[in-house]
Structure 1
Amino acid sequence: MDMTTAGDAGLLDTLQHEVAVFARRAEQTRLGGVGQVRNSMDRAAYLLLNRLDKEGPMGVKALAASMGIDSSTVTRQVAPLVDTGLVKRTSHPEDGRAVVLQLSPRGHARLDEVRSSRRELMAQLTQDWAPEERETFCALLTRFNTALSARMAGQPAVAGEAPAAS
């Protein structure tokens, strides 16, 4: 069912085009940051490391569920992070047979380095924006991502809720 009016069509066409351009440019640059760190961590690695940092050690199934992706995808994406020493596999404290993933000290340091570089890039890209404009853009982008995540999960979006796969 088309929920747009004739007046909305032009604005929504512009919005979908700008989202497509943003997605292409973000993937091309990976919004990697500045300096030597630029483009040095892919999106999947960044999101996995960020999730482990924010939520702490967890198993593959829990990590996959919290990110809204399949366990086999997490397993495939975590393997190189373990190989490079950014993530450690350890035994679950309550069930020694279960494996828990956690950031290694090297992973924490690398994530901090990438975050700092990306923060500097965001500062440069928005340097001529008023603080209120940055806050509004961030709030609207979060709201957009929340709605998109909810749609992908087949759920209605809840205003003000953080996206599941960030």
Structure 2
Amino acid sequence: MSTPASTAILTALTHLMTQWSSPRVQSQYAEAAGVNIDSGDIAIVYTLGMQGNLRSSALADRLRLTRPTMSKQLHRLESTGLIVRRPDPEDGRASFIDLSEAGRAAYGALVSRGIAAIETAIGDWSPDDREHFAELARRFVTSVGVDIPDTSQKEE
């Protein structure tokens, strides 16, 4: 049964996801962060930055990409020096993908830019409203089956 609140949440989330994940917006954020990266590769950098090294197949599964698409993107990121491949010690045919030093710097710059965008959006919110929204967002994302790390930090 649809409620006005459910409809409003769906509408807001659809607009947010469409805007935030659009190649144009992602390219603008990357440019503002000083990161030279194809907009389609940003999700890979975020995922590796948040979760650490992964096999390419696991990375493709998490990002819901085909293996050929993932392979193409990884070759592009490797050629720009943002990722490194390390052999899997348990399976000589496989390798782990991780951010290089330059990739970690790019990840940090992208995260800083994203936080700046959020700070702009909630700049006039009270600390209580910010904390409440953060908790509700974590709770919602977890309830729809997305496993997210707890990144809450005490404000100093």
TM-score (norm 2): 0.72
Alignment of 1:103-142 (within 5 A): 103-142=99-138
Match of 2:86, SS state, is: strand
Q: Which whole-Å CA distance do the structure 2 matches of 1:43 and 1:145 have between them?
A: 24
Q: Which whole-Å CA distance do the structure 1 matches of 2:30 and 2:46 have between them?
A: 19
Q: Displacement, 1:129?
A: 0.8
Q: Using CA pairs under 8 Å that are at least 6 residues apart, name the structure with larger relative contact order, 1 or 2.
A: 1
From 85, 91, 96, the counterpart of 1:89? 85
From 15, 19, 22, the counterpart of 1:25? 19
Q: Which whole-Å CA distance do the structure 1 matches of 2:91 and 2:54 have between them?
A: 12
Match of 1:96, SS state, is: strand
Q: Displacement, 1:125?
A: 1.4
Q: Which whole-Å CA distance do the structure 2 matches of 1:41 and 1:133 have between them?
A: 34
Q: Which whole-Å CA distance do the structure 2 matches of 1:97 and 1:128 have between them?
A: 53
Counterpart of 1:156 in structure 2 is none
Q: Displacement, 1:123?
A: 1.4
Unaligned 5+ runs, structure 2: 150-156
Q: Tell whether the 8 Å contact from 2:30 to 2:37 is kept in structure 1 after alignment.
A: no
Q: Which whole-Å CA distance do the structure 2 matches of 1:139 and 1:31 have between them?
A: 29
Counterpart of 1:69 in structure 2 is 64
- Select between 14-23 and 109-118 the one with higher mean Cα deviation: 14-23
Counterpart of 1:57 in structure 2 is 53
- Name the larger-Rg structure: 1
Counterpart of 1:154 in structure 2 is none
Q: Which whole-Å CA distance do the structure 1 matches of 2:39 and 2:142 have between them?
A: 18
Distance 1:116 1:68, change over 3 A: closer
The structure carrying a bigger strand percent of its residues is 2
Distance 1:132 1:108, change over 3 A: same
Report the number of matched residues.
146
TM-score (norm 1): 0.68
The aligned amino acid for 1:15 is: I
Unaligned 5+ runs, structure 1: 151-160
Match of 1:90, SS state, is: strand
1:43-90: per-residue Cα shift (whole Å, max 9, x none)?
65333223323333221123234x262451433432321221111122
Give me the CA root mean square deviation. Answer: 3.1
Q: Sequence identity of aligned pairs in percent?
A: 24
